[in-house]
Chains A and B, each alone.
Chain A
């Protein structure tokens, strides 16, 4: 079907690792897909299968109306015929070529020059890759891939080679670039905040299998089973507006409730992300240094081994994970009025 990337292929490696990926991405509804999973789960391998750098043992890959691979029919397009731009984890800039020659490598000269300008790299054009910073190298790698007019952009952990400070700034830039480029892209990451900040669509990979795919919010809110829930690990992703910012703190508004958190420079609209184990529950409003205290009602309590998962309604849905012991001590039952406490540093803000 047009407008979709349909991958259903498997490959077994000499090490015994098997990748068996079934994935369907609606390219036109989801400009950016995040391929999420722990390291070693096969994300990079799947990306290489899509690019044509690895050949599946069986199955097929179809991109829009083009068949990229079909083992049954003996079809296997080489990377050159797929034109899937690949941004390598360490960028793989050609060390013997200048920045300008790198960007123009697979492009007509005019397109190379245009991308150089767009990415603000004109002044660096004569430098060699090793003479520029990591953040600049990342821009060169993106510009080089886009200059070749790719049909699909594949990015392997594009931010992982950067230091923490650069990463936060580059994340916003990257999202902007990916949306502006109008080229559907697949971004590999193991970072939850990156997944939330960059992705429209999300596929979760565990041990070589795609366990779940869907919109980013859906996957985080409704993980398909405990393995995915453990892998994605953020239960509370709440749409929020920024009310004010002062002295390094940000005040958000979530469903009418003000929430304080640390200012990471994002602008509205945002998601406030809170891990369930960071939400503690008290019966009465006791003194605490925590910034955020939300009065609410218990909706449901379910035991998960030694832990209890408590669903609250504080004007917005909030999930808390406490020990089964403390849930018992508090006599939590649906309908009870309680107070949820979250430290400001436990609220992570990601661009929506």
Chain B
């Protein structure tokens, strides 16, 4: 089994999920509570990775982070490195690719929190930011856990985006799914089957954990 690729995929999925928690929660908050009429446009953009072929998303990300683009130029000026075919570039693409898997469950969980709890907090003098942290996030925790686990599992299994943006550099951008593809191309079916089984088992465990967690957390805090 390609342990290097497995370790890389786990690292990518973990960091992606962490970044998505930081980025996705504010987006979900804005989508849930903003009175702006045009927020459906943002909702559509966030959901795009659900329907777009990963190659299309990967292609645009590749163009956007190239050394001639503003993002790529800024990055190389700040770090001296290049984003395409690097772990950091892959990370950026993964965050975009898994964004709806974080934002949608979290936004649904935020919307399900009774607004009076937020209002009660505001009336006690607690600012909106602190209310978010002390009331909304704890009450939406099952939804946030679901978003995190789905993002993690989704990143673990991504293929098209990685191929477009990251390429196939061992230890840098060769993830589990790329490794399986390589093994099949070189007719090493035994290795491919081993790695596939590993990915299947991890994915199943992660999803089983999600649903188990959700039920337990929900029974600890009933809606009242």
Contact = CB atoms under 8 A, between A and B. Distances in A.
Interface of A: 51-53, 78-80, 83-86, 88, 90, 92, 94-96, 105-107, 129-130, 144-145, 148
A106 B126 contact: yes
Contacts of A53: 119, 122-123
Contact of B124 (A78, A95, A148): A148
B117 to A, nearest CB: 6
A80 B127 contact: yes
A145 B224 contact: no
Given A85-B123, A96-B221, A130-B222, 15 more contacts: A51-B119, A78-B122, A80-B125, A80-B126, A92-B119, A92-B120, A94-B117, A94-B120, A95-B117, A95-B221, A95-B222, A106-B121, A106-B126, A129-B224, A148-B124
B117 A92 contact: yes
A95 B222 CA distance: 8
Contacts of A145: 123-124
Contacts of A78: 122
Given A80-B127, A92-B116, A96-B138, A105 B121 contact: yes
B139 interface: yes
B135 interface: yes
A144 B120 CA distance: 10
Closest 6 CB pairs of A and B: A106-B124, A86-B123, A79-B122, A92-B120, A92-B116, A148-B124
Contacts of A92: 114, 116-117, 119-120
16 contacts: A79-B122, A80-B122, A80-B126, A83-B125, A84-B123, A85-B124, A86-B120, A88-B119, A88-B120, A92-B117, A92-B119, A92-B120, A94-B139, A105-B121, A106-B126, A130-B224
B119 to A, nearest CB: 5
Contact of B125 (A90, A94, A130, A148): A148
Contacts of A94: 117, 120-121, 135, 139
Interface of B: 114, 116-117, 119-127, 134-135, 138-139, 221-224
Nearest to B222: A130
A106 B138 CA distance: 17
A136 to B, nearest CB: 14
Contact of B126 (A51, A96, A105, A130): A105
B142 to A, nearest CB: 11
Contacts, number: 62
Contact of A86 (B119, B222, B224): B119
A96 B139 contact: yes
Chain B interface, DSSP helix/strand/loop, else mixed: helix
Contacts of A95: 117, 139, 221-224
A219 B176 CA distance: 78
A105 B122 contact: no
Contacts of B134: 105
B33 to A, nearest CB: 13
Contacts of B114: 92
B119 A79 contact: yes
Nearest to B220: A96
A130 B223 CA distance: 10
A52 B138 CA distance: 25
A96 B126 CA distance: 17
A79 to B, nearest CB: 4
Nearest to B139: A96
B192 to A, nearest CB: 46
A292 B149 CA distance: 73
B122 to A, nearest CB: 4
Nearest to B131: A80
A88 B224 CA distance: 13
Given A94-B117, A95-B224, A79 B139 contact: no
Nearest to A97: B138
Contacts of B223: 95
Contacts of B119: 51, 53, 79, 86, 88, 92
A88 B139 contact: no
Contacts of A129: 224
A59 B206 CA distance: 55
A90 B127 CA distance: 23
Nearest to B126: A106
A45 to B, nearest CB: 13
A90 B115 CA distance: 13
**Residue of A78, A86, A92, A107 contacting most chain B CB atoms (<10 Å):** A92
A80 B130 CA distance: 12
Contacts of A84: 123
Contact of A106 (B125, B139, B222): B125
A84 to B, nearest CB: 6
